[in-house]
Amino acid sequence: MKNKIFKYISLVLILGMTSILNGFSQELPAEQIHVHLQKNICLAGEAIHFKLYCLNSNDLKLSKISKVAYVELIGENGFPVAQTDIILEHGMGKGGFVISSQLPTGNYAINAYTHWMKTSSPDFINVSPLFIFNNQNISDSDYSNTTNLKSTFRDLKNNNLTLVKSEIKQDDISIHTKIEDLNRILKISITNNNIGIDSSYIFQLLSRKGKTLEQKIQFNQNNWETLLEIKDLKSPNYNIAIRNNKGQLIKTAVIHLANSHRGRFIEKPRITTKQRKKIKINLRLEELSHQDDSLFLLASIKLKEPQISSINIIDYMNLYSDFGANMLPYFNHIKKFGKQSWIAEKGIETVWLKNSNIYSVNANRYPEEEAYVIEGTVKMRKTKQAFTNENVFLSKIGGYADISPFCTNDQGKFYFNLPLKKGLHDISIQVKGRNDLDLAIKLKDKFNSEGFAPIPWKKQELKEKQLDFIKDQFENFRIRNIYRQETYRETKDTCLYRGQANFYGKSEHFIKIDDYIQLDSLEEYFHEFITTVKINYKKKKPHIYVYSPDIMRVFEQNPLLMFDGLILSDASKILNKNSKEIDKIEVVPYEYYYGSSHLYGIINVISKKQDCQLSELPKNTERYYLPLFTHGVEYINTSEYQQKNHADFRTDLLWEPNINLTKNKHFDLEFTTSDVKGEYELTVEGISEKGEPIVIMQSILVE
């Protein structure tokens, strides 16, 4: 009976793992991430805090798909200078970087993505610009590759677009727009400038939700036009696509309609106050939204920067989310338009022009829906041939036999789930019973090897206001260091996370070594107290077998032998252990099916330290102390220990990344102004459960 129960339990476990990692029949929407940076002008040696909003690209509501995000600080050469992984809860996460004092002055970019985004739709990866100043290193960038801006931007209502030839010379097409009938009609005109060509074309008007319009173009004296009622255009951005009769993309343009914005923007009256004053600002749901049951917000207060370089969540949803990393070169260009409607020909394109909003899950692209997914490969070390259709085991080191099997695919790939727990995960990847082979096991790096780089920085680009602001910030930073006034605390969660439960459940056959008299060797404990284990010697080498009460005989095959969660094939590695170091021995004296593995009994030896100390690992085994979510940066509320006799030169007065407003729960923003006079900027932004963004701005003047 026990044999059947064990078989059933093991089958359920494996089916659960298979459905997550091997099903690959699922179709899921793409994801996008909005990153709110605490500030966009930073100093080397400071910390930068951020909050992530992971959104479903179909409806821009908080995504329920991915539970892990990856954030990188990218230098001008495209390579990361800092990386961190973030746990997403309800589609949101928070984190930060400590900016290295070795980084040179220049432009940098935050890249944020999920594994699902990285592998299915990398064009959706968020790129947020920031500037880092290092007083010790302010030379110009050495990178000569400057971005060539292809697009020509014009006001939608009054544009005389210069004709821009397409890349295919024989399809010389230009696009014109005009607002007519008291801002109610948008006229789009297509001109064929090559009189000698009389080909048929297809006009498409595309939005995030798909095709809004598709028509064949019939030129009348080389012109074609269509009239659209602006009230019917519900999206803020549209992509015009002109294709030839073969479906090839000939010409593109982007239309942005400022009056189609979603979200609520609130600008509150300025607060005027003095230095070192305690201030409390109350946030209530009913004052911010009458349609939502809850709001997920953050709040930050910083000294106002001389140039607007941040993207709030309303602007992200209405503009930048439709362009992804392609928008970065045009960031400053677009800021000049403000709330104006515009059209841009050639160069800039929406991410959904060539990307789908729905993708199929497969062996190379998959979301991390419930856990952190380990992906790796097993290959022959010499020939590099994939080790296919064979069992690979994830062994979690510790006081339990916590293992998971996976049968490699035709590329030699394996996948395992790890819990979303902060710390060092003590694990091993093993191939059991194939000592005749020399195998190479390699884990996949979940971060990008290169990222989306910012535009290279030149010293002459710094304007006088910016330079004065940076000088003041550096002087404040220097004084804070003199007075040891900390504004952040770097955290490193290095606790070991090990096995949590036996895969076979609770064993009825076990002994605690300390419950018996002290014997000279571990082999004696097996002989004297564990009747279901038999030890034989062949050519002076010990072999361990299990006696099964079910069939009343000893299995001829070797059992699954484990020491502190690690699978072993050499019995001498256990028998040679000092018995004083051993805490417990467990035995499962039955046949056991675990995945496609047929086990003839299980023997699990657990040491008192539970750390699997061995002189060498078994063959075809790799052990890892895998750091997951270990690094963090905490904002320190300096007002808690502010001393009157010490200078207070903080310029970041508040950082509250986790605010949840409901009808019965309000929130008080409490902060204390510093000794630094000037205009500060309070930003409260977030999103509702229905996907509506909200931004609250308020100026705070410290005199």
- pLDDT tens profile 473-502: 999 999 999 888 889 999 888 889 998 999
Using CB atoms within 10 Å of the CB of residue 506, give its burial: 0 to 12 exposed, 13 to 18 middle, 19+ buried. exposed
For residue 156 the two structure tokens come to: 């939608």
Using CA atoms, how far residue 288 sits from 56, 189, 692, 696, in Å, is 24, 42, 12, 9
Q: How long a stretch of residues is the chain?
A: 703
Q: H helices of 505-580, where?
A: 522-529, 572-575
**What per-residue confidence (pLDDT) applies to 151?**
77
Partners of 267 in the β-ladder: 697
For residue 280 the two structure tokens come to: 């409390």
DSSP state of 230: G
**What per-residue confidence (pLDDT) applies to 576?**
93
As separate numbers, helices (DSSP H) first and strands (DSSP E) second, the chain gives: 8, 44
Tally Cβ neighbours within 10 Å of residue 311: 23
Tally Cβ neighbours within 10 Å of residue 414: 27
Cα separation of 190 and 2, whole Å?
76
**What per-residue confidence (pLDDT) applies to 13?**
42
Cα separation of 299 and 694, whole Å?
12
Cα separation of 666 and 96, whole Å?
26
As a whole-number percent, the residues of the chain with pLDDT over 70 amount to 91
**Is the distance from CB of 207 to CB of 214 less than 8 angstroms?**
no
Indicate the fold that domain 509-613 takes in CATH.
Ferric Hydroxamate Uptake Protein; Chain A, domain 1 (2.170.130)
Q: For the chain, how far is it from start to end, CA to CA, in angstroms?
A: 81
**What per-residue confidence (pLDDT) applies to 330?**
81
Nearest-5° Cα angle at 541, 539 to 546: 115
Indicate the fold that domain 157-256 takes in CATH.
Immunoglobulin-like (2.60.40)
Three-state DSSP class for residue 258: helix
- Residue 615 contacts by C-beta under 8 Å, 6 or more apart in sequence? none
Cα separation of 378 and 391, whole Å?
10
Tally Cβ neighbours within 10 Å of residue 568: 23
**What per-residue confidence (pLDDT) applies to 198?**
56
**What per-residue confidence (pLDDT) applies to 166?**
35
Model confidence over 65-74: pLDDT tens digits?
Answer: 999 999 999 9
Cα separation of 702 and 655, whole Å?
18
Using CA atoms, how far residue 195 sits from 123, 199, 408, 485, 699, in Å, is 37, 10, 60, 72, 58
Residue type, 345: E
Three-state DSSP class for residue 669: strand
Residue type, 153: F
For residue 549 the two structure tokens come to: 């009460």
HSE at residue 95, side-chain half, CA atoms within 13 A, is 27
**What per-residue confidence (pLDDT) applies to 468?**
93
Is this prediction's pTM over 0.85? yes
Q: Which sequence spans correspond to the domains of the chain?
A: 27-148+260-358+449-491+632-702, 157-256, 509-613
Low-confidence residues of the chain: pLDDT under 50: 1-23, 144-147, 161-171, 640-641
Partners of 418 in the β-ladder: 372
**Is the distance from CB of 52 to CB of 110 less than 8 angstroms?**
no
Cα separation of 60 and 78, whole Å?
28
Residue type, 207: S
Partners of 536 in the β-ladder: 543
**What per-residue confidence (pLDDT) applies to 395?**
96
Using only C-alpha atoms, the chain has a radius of gyration, in whole angstroms, of 31
State which H helix or E strand residue 119 sits in.
helix 115-120
Measured in degrees and rounded to the nearest 5, phi and psi for residue 28 equal: -135, 150
Residue written as token pair 């690209």: 57
**What per-residue confidence (pLDDT) applies to 140?**
61
